[in-house]
Chains A and B, each alone.
Chain A
Amino acid sequence: ELKVEQNPLFLSMQEGKNYTIYCNYSTTSDRLYWYRQDPGKSLESLFVLLSNGAVKQEGRLMASLDTKARLSTLHITAAVHDLSATYFCAVDMSSQGNLIFGKGTKLSVKP
């Protein structure tokens, strides 16, 4: 059974600081997704990582994938309040629309 673990589950940061969220998964996969969810809202796609060594960046967020280590990271650079949200990683195992999600990392960026 595929398990996806994120850490930390809660993260309180000061504006301007850097931090990394980790996503480990238990079975071989080369398809990993990062989503953002604001309170009371749906999930917004951030990154799709489809191969070992994939790195994608958008603004202050950068995601990478190491399929050999079964690890993805979401790095936050110089955090701002607008980044406060819950971030989920998800792994696709079946190629049939079945995403297995981590429990999410609730990020709070304080001034």
Chain B
Amino acid sequence: KAGVTQTPRYLIKTRGQQVTLSCSPISGHRSVSWYQQTPGQGLQFLFEYFSETQRNKGNFPGRFSGRQFSNSRSEMNVSTLELGDSALYLCASSLVGTGVDTQYFGPGTRLTVL
């Protein structure tokens, strides 16, 4: 069974630009969560989608947004990039995201903002 895939794997942008990251979950998984990982703040939850609906959102500014498609694939968008947005962005998928099923993580997208 194929794992969680994320594209692109690496991205370099400049301040003020916007970026879209993509995540394809494991086949059959309907919940997709997004996390930001930085050396200073560690792993922080961004948002979670289930059946095309955002069910939960972390404490991030509105510049961070996401969506989920009918095939469970998800995208996240960051507008007006800031230097502090440089991070590893991880998505994770699970069957239904209820907490009793494991979240499986993708390889991540490393975003560098110059």
Q: Contact residues of A with B, CB < 8 Å?
A: 31, 33, 35, 41-45, 48, 50, 88, 90, 92, 94-104
- Cβ-defined contact, A31 with B99, below 8 A: yes
Bound-state CA distance A59–B3 (Å) is 23
- Cβ-defined contact, B104 with A100, below 8 A: no
- Cβ-defined contact, A101 with B42, below 8 A: yes
A-B CB pair tally, cutoff 8 Å: 69
- Shortest Cβ-Cβ A-B pairs, 7 listed: A97-B48, A97-B97, A92-B99, A101-B43, A97-B33, A43-B105, A95-B99
In the assembled complex, the CB of A45 is this many whole angstroms from the nearest CB of chain B, namely 5
B22 within 8 A of A: no
**Chain B: interface residue count, which band?**
20 to 34
- Cβ-defined contact, A41 with B107, below 8 A: yes
Checking B56, B105, B107, B108 against A96 with a beta-carbon cut-off of 8 angstroms, the contacting residue is: B56
Checking B32, B45, B100 against A99 with a beta-carbon cut-off of 8 angstroms, the contacting residue is: B45
- Cβ-defined contact, B55 with A97, below 8 A: yes
In the assembled complex, the CB of B112 is this many whole angstroms from the nearest CB of chain A, namely 14
Checking A45, A97, A100 against B31 with a beta-carbon cut-off of 8 angstroms, the contacting residue is: A97
Checking B31, B100, B107 against A31 with a beta-carbon cut-off of 8 angstroms, the contacting residue is: B100
Q: Contact residues of B with A, CB < 8 Å?
A: 31-33, 35, 42-45, 48, 50, 55-56, 58, 90, 92, 94, 97-100, 102-108
Residues of chain A lying within 8 A (CB to CB) of residue B56 = 94, 96-98
- Cβ-defined contact, B108 with A42, below 8 A: yes
- Cβ-defined contact, B48 with A98, below 8 A: yes
- Cβ-defined contact, B45 with A95, below 8 A: no
- Cβ-defined contact, A42 with B42, below 8 A: no
Bound-state CA distance A94–B42 (Å) is 20
Residues of chain B lying within 8 A (CB to CB) of residue A95 = 97-99
- Cβ-defined contact, B103 with A99, below 8 A: yes
Bound-state CA distance A100–B106 (Å) is 17
- Cβ-defined contact, A45 with B50, below 8 A: no
